[in-house]
Structure 1
Amino acid sequence: MTTLQLKNIVKRYKSQTVLDDLSLDVANGERLVLFGPSGSGKTVLLRLIAGVIEPDGGRVLIGGEDMTDVDAEHRGLGMAFQNFALFPHMSAFDNIASALTSRKSSRDTIAAGVHKVAKLLKIDHVLSHHPKALSNGQKQRTALARALVGSPPLLLLDDPLRNVDAKLRFEMRLELPRLLAAQGATVIYVTQDYKEAMALGDRIAVMAHGRIRQIGTPAEIYNAPADIEIARLFGDPTINLLDVVPQRGPDGAFVELSDMRLRLPGFGAEIIEKQCVLGLRPETIAFAEASAHGAIPVTVEAETPLNEKTVTLALTARGREILVSRPAGTPGPVAGPAHIAVDGRAAFLFDKATGQRILPSELASKRDGEAA
Structure 2
Amino acid sequence: MFNKNKNERTEPRSWNWSPRALVLGGLGALTLGVAVLSVAVSYSILAPHFGLLAAPTVAALDVLWVVLQATEILAGNNRVRAGRVRWAGLTLTAVIAAVPTADLIVTGAGVSDLAVILTPVAIVFTKVGWWLVLPSLGRKVSPDTRKAIDARRQQVADRLEQMEADAADRIELLRVASDLQAQVSDAETDYRRRTLKAQQRMTERLYGQAESTADTVASKPLPELIATIKLPELDGWEPSSLALDVTPVTPAVTQVSGTNGEDAAEASRREQLLVTVSEIAAVTGVPTPVTGAPLTNDQITVVLRALRHSEDPPMESYRQAAGEFRRLGFLGGEDRVRPLWRELKRREAQEESEESEEEAEEDAEAR
Structure 2 length normalisation: TM-score? 0.19
**Higher-RCO chain (CA-CA 8 Å, sequence separation at least 6):** 1
Larger helix fraction of residues? 2
Q: What's the TM-score, normalizing by structure 1?
A: 0.19
Bigger strand share: 1
Largest Rg, 1 or 2: 2
